Amino acid sequence: MLLSVRHRFLFVHIAKTGGTSVRAALEGRRWRDPWYPAQFLCSRLSHLSGHRLAIKLPRHAKVIAAKELLPREFFDSLFKFAFVRNPWDLQVSSFHHIRRERPQFLGGHQDFADFLRWKLDPERPYQYHLDTSIERQSDYLIDLDGRTLVDFVGRYERLAEDFRIACDRIGIPTPSLPHRRRAADRTTDYRSYYDDDTAALIARHFARDIALLGYRFDPD
């Protein structure tokens, strides 16, 4: 989650949706925010305490957390936005990210289909780096009654275009989007990773996202 007091925006960072690039593009704006030194200090204190001080909005916090922590008038004044991604594509991206940067979390499953079944097994012990990427994206956007709290939902599939829309809404020139954490070792088309069973597994687990966000396995 990225909060700018000066520019009155709140970016809700859903894992594996291009958020690292969005954060990097907007970081320069934070440095010129008069509130940034205080935010930076709180962030460092939170890190040094093992995040036990409750003084920082986590990187992948849901928008409801900001609503509960921030003053109502201030929260309502923010332009709140997020990016989402096709759930089938997101899981392929997550698999390659974990295999490349945190292979110890693969649980011995080098095959995508085997890893996916193990990852979505409700009996598997919780692991942050796995479970963040199987959170339902819609949960990041809504309150406890299911009402959408964000003002704009962009899509990873048109990241540059929707980022320009978000910057226009914020009222800032659009900075360039760096390419961060792009997997060089994956097949371009996510559909080639799936068979009927694993495609249906994603459809069941992310049914709420698919219904709310309008994604399909075959977008054409």
Domain architecture of the chain: domains with CATH: 2-213 (3.40.50)
CB 153 within 8 A of CB 81: yes
Between CA 120 and CA 106 the distance in angstroms is 12
Nearest Cα to Cα of residue 145 among 58, 60, 64:
64
Q: Count of residues for the chain? A: 220
The band of 9, judged by pLDDT with boundaries at 50, 70 and 90, is very high
Burial of 202 (0-12, 13-18, 19+ CB in 10 A): buried
The band of 54, judged by pLDDT with boundaries at 50, 70 and 90, is low
Residue type, 202: I
> What's residue 28's pLDDT?
75
161: left (phi over 0), alpha (psi -120 to 50) or beta: alpha
Entry pTM: 0.88
**pLDDT average, residue stretch 99-107:** 88
> What's 142's DSSP letter?
B
Read off the tokens for 18. 């291009």
Residue type, 121: D
Going through 71-178 in order, the beta strands assigned E by DSSP cover 79-84, 152-155
**pLDDT average, residue stretch 84-102:** 94
CB 199 within 8 A of CB 38: no
**pLDDT average, residue stretch 117-136:** 90
